[in-house]
Chain A
Amino acid sequence: MALLEVKDLKVRVEEREILHGLTLTVNEGEVHAIMGPNGSGKSTLSHVIAGKPGYEVTDGQILFKGEDLLEMSPDERAAKGVFLAFQYPVEIPGVATMTFLRTALNAQRKARGESEYSTPDFLKKVREVSKSLNIPQDMLKRGVNVGFSGGEKKRNEVLQMALFEPSLCILDEMDSGLDIDALRIAADGVNALRSPKRAMVVITHYQRLLNYIVPDVVHVMSKGRVVKSGGKELALELEASGYAQFEDAA
């Protein structure tokens, strides 16, 4: 079943069109990779799906589980099951990670009409998940991402993904700023969350990440459109030949 349907999406930022009619369908259980050179519009796509302000959708639509995503505020999208793992997770001094996680999880549950987690149940859940991701308890007591290394910030994103149990995870350049060990830990965390009900969109510039998170479908983006789609072998092909051929095609 189609989880995410992006249809002929056109997006502007400050009068400049970045996406020129992008179409993409992601089904439940699938992992899609979106590859492309810098400036091809990969991050714009992830921001528009999550609802970041500053982007003007001039045409097209985004359906999530058949509902119009563009009509929803970012928090409503989160409660519906959309999760964006940020390329650069922000630091929030003065907001303890635990407080943040509990507030966010309960806000999502409340929006869905589910009961809020009690503190003991929440703590139990966080402990389980953080242990599996190798996140020390003292990290959870600190301010959100404050003083975290690049790898810790990405693991914190994966921790949230595991806690909130979204049905669509968008990983925006998850490999940026990570060394190979940190990348492996984060990717293992993501792989553990793969399930027949959950889809993932992995946005990356490099093929490297796809050695760890193996996609079902690879899309190549260039100049605001998807110019080619194929199986995981397409990523390897790109690695060998580069993006230049697609820039011409676009």
Chain B
Amino acid sequence: MNVAVAKTGNGRAVSDLFASAEGRLPGSPDVIAVRREAFETYERLGLPHRRIEEWKYTDLRALVGEVLPLAAAPDAAALKRAAEAVKAHAIEGARKLVLVDGVFAADLSDTKALTAEVGFRTLREALEKDSGLLKTSSTDAVIALNAAMATDGVVLSIANGAQLSAPIQILHIATAASASSFTRSRVAIGKGARATIVESFVSAGAKAYQVNDAVIVTVGDGADVAHIRLMDDAADAANVSSHFVTVGANVKFNFFNMTTGAAVSRLQGFITLAGEGSELSANGVNLLQKTEHGDTTLVVDHAVPNCVSREIFRAVIDDRAHSVFQGRIIVRPDAQKTDGKMMTRALLLSDEAEADNKPELEIFADDVSCGHGATAGALDDSLLFYLKARGLPEKQAQALLIQAFVGEAIEQIADDVLREHVIGIAERWLERRS
């Protein structure tokens, strides 16, 4: 959508945002030109709001208001705090790549442990010659803003046929309060490769910060990939992340997103099945409380025939929190024999909790099997009483039923260590409730 929106009240602050950050933004003169153009796009559009159809339920102008100034590069004290957070959130056996306040932290990362099959550069290094990294087909304002402002990220290239036994974990650590970080990463996975990528977003004591992240993933033919995103930012932070995934032929791609933090968050994933015979499993869990607003938006584009997509999404919403799930399945005219299914369920733990489910099927082929389902409801009183009659206190009975509810999505994670890690995050969220 390309509507000309009058400058908002924060228009002036927005211009200052770029001008004051420009000296810190990496890239060749070509790259800076791309950034400037992206920023102009953002300035023209402003933050997305409810009259933009894709952002109907997540009005960033109302929820966030303004974009905070760019976070300063982390100093020694910040890196020390970040090191503690890395320890607390690292996945057992994973190769860690750490970004602190939007800047790659070499000392906290395991770059030396990466095998020869994994090419690694920072975005900062890559932008010295490649402005293509900042370009996407999207016209979305937050993505344009990301292109303009991205300070760093990881650029990974996994060789054809590589069989990575250890996950690669990209950790985003926030230490700076009342500031923004912008990161952009690219992960290129070679043909026949096997890899697990985990992204974690956490706070090291920072408050009221903003994160704008973008990840571009390409998956070569025959690859087997697990991509897991765990967003547990501070309770008063905002996180808007965009994924662009292009999947080749005969690929198994297993995506999972978990939202347990941030006052305002949106993950928007654009996944294109561009090669035949691929299987996509895209799943997610939102665990929201207090006044949190969590939006998971997935667009699955079946561009070619004979692909399968499965989406399982679960939201658990307490207090006055608001969960949004938008799932669109597009089946292009040539994409015959597409098999696409999406099932979303919301569990409302309070009378004031709110869930919006917006499933959309756009089918242009005539020989396909596609479907979606959506439910919303409270915990079943008869199940709660049964558990209580067996000795479980109210909160523990609720916790067991909530774990069962989200379990169906979490079970889609094949790796035992990762699945247990995710279950642990859900358990800690449940403990925070009681």
Residues of A within 8 A of B (CB): 50-53, 73-75, 77-79, 84, 86, 89-90, 92-95, 99-100, 103-105, 107-108, 111, 143, 160, 164
Chain B 388-409 per-residue mask, 1 if CB under 8 angstroms from chain A, else 0: 1111111011001101110110
Residues of B within 8 A of A53 (CB): 381, 385
Report the bound CA distance from A143 to B388 in whole Å.
17
Are A90's CB and B391's CB within 8 A?
no
Report the bound CA distance from A86 to B392 in whole Å.
16
Residues of A within 8 A of B405 (CB): 94
Residue from the list A51, A79, A103 in contact with B400, Cβ < 8 A: A103
* A-B CB proximity, top 9 nearest: A94-B404, A108-B391, A78-B391, A74-B388, A104-B390, A107-B391, A95-B404, A94-B407, A90-B386
Residues of B within 8 A of A89 (CB): 386
Residues of A within 8 A of B407 (CB): 94
Please count how many residues in chain B sit with their CB below 8 Å of the partner chain's CB atoms: 23
Q: From residue 359 to 410 of chain B, which have CB atoms closer than 8 A to chain A?
A: 380-383, 385-394, 396-397, 400-401, 403-405, 407-408
- Listed by A's residue number, 24 A-B pairs whose Cβ atoms lie within 8 Å are A53-B381, A53-B385, A73-B393, A75-B394, A77-B389, A84-B389, A86-B389, A89-B386, A90-B380, A90-B383, A92-B383, A92-B386, A92-B387, A94-B404, A94-B407, A94-B408, A95-B403, A100-B400, A105-B391, A107-B390, A107-B391, A107-B392, A107-B396, A160-B390
Are B391's CB and A104's CB within 8 A?
yes
Residues of B within 8 A of A (CB): 380-383, 385-394, 396-397, 400-401, 403-405, 407-408
Report the bound CA distance from A111 to B403 in whole Å.
22
Interface contacts (Cβ under 8 Å), in number, total 75
Residue from the list A52, A94, A99, A107 in contact with B385, Cβ < 8 A: A52
Residue from the list B381, B382, B393, B400 in contact with A95, Cβ < 8 A: B400
Shortest distance in angstroms between B406's beta carbon and chain A's nearest beta carbon? Answer: 9
Considering the complex, give the chain A residue whose CB is closest to the CB of B411: A94
The listed residue with most B CB atoms (<10 A of its CB), out of A73, A74, A103, is: A74
The main secondary structure of chain A at its interface with chain B is helix
Are B388's CB and A51's CB within 8 A?
yes
In the complex with contacts A53-B381, A103-B396, A93-B404 CB distance below 8 A: yes
Are A50's CB and B390's CB within 8 A?
no
Residues of A within 8 A of B387 (CB): 92, 100, 104
Are A92's CB and B401's CB within 8 A?
yes
In the complex with contacts A73-B393, A90-B383, A107-B393, A78-B388 CB distance below 8 A: yes
Report the bound CA distance from A87 to B39 in whole Å.
67
Are A51's CB and B396's CB within 8 A?
no
Residues of B within 8 A of A52 (CB): 385, 389
The listed residue with most A CB atoms (<10 A of its CB), out of B388, B403, B407, is: B388
Residue from the list A78, A90, A92, A107 in contact with B404, Cβ < 8 A: A92
Residues of A within 8 A of B408 (CB): 94
Shortest distance in angstroms between B351's beta carbon and chain A's nearest beta carbon? Answer: 17
Considering the complex, give the chain B residue whose CB is closest to the CB of A88: B382
Shortest distance in angstroms between A106's beta carbon and chain B's nearest beta carbon? Answer: 9
A75-B388, A111-B391 provided; 9 other pairs, C-beta below 8 A? A51-B388, A53-B381, A53-B385, A75-B393, A78-B391, A100-B400, A107-B390, A107-B396, A143-B404
Are A50's CB and B389's CB within 8 A?
yes
Considering the complex, give the chain A residue whose CB is closest to the CB of B380: A90
Shortest distance in angstroms between A153's beta carbon and chain B's nearest beta carbon? Answer: 11
Considering the complex, give the chain A residue whose CB is closest to the CB of B402: A94
Report the bound CA distance from A77 to B394 in whole Å.
13
Residue from the list A74, A95, A111 in contact with B389, Cβ < 8 A: A74
Are B389's CB and A51's CB within 8 A?
yes
Are A95's CB and B385's CB within 8 A?
no
Residues of A within 8 A of B396 (CB): 103, 107
Are B393's CB and A90's CB within 8 A?
no
Report the bound CA distance from A74 to B388 in whole Å.
6
Report the bound CA distance from A104 to B145 in whole Å.
52
Residues of B within 8 A of A103 (CB): 392, 396, 400
Considering the complex, give the chain B residue whose CB is closest to the CB of A111: B391
Residues of B within 8 A of A99 (CB): 400
Are A74's CB and B400's CB within 8 A?
no
Residues of B within 8 A of A164 (CB): 390-391
Are B401's CB and A75's CB within 8 A?
no
Report the bound CA distance from A93 to B380 in whole Å.
12
Report the bound CA distance from A229 to B383 in whole Å.
35
Residue from the list A73, A93, A95, A100 in contact with B388, Cβ < 8 A: A73
Shortest distance in angstroms between A85's beta carbon and chain B's nearest beta carbon? Answer: 10
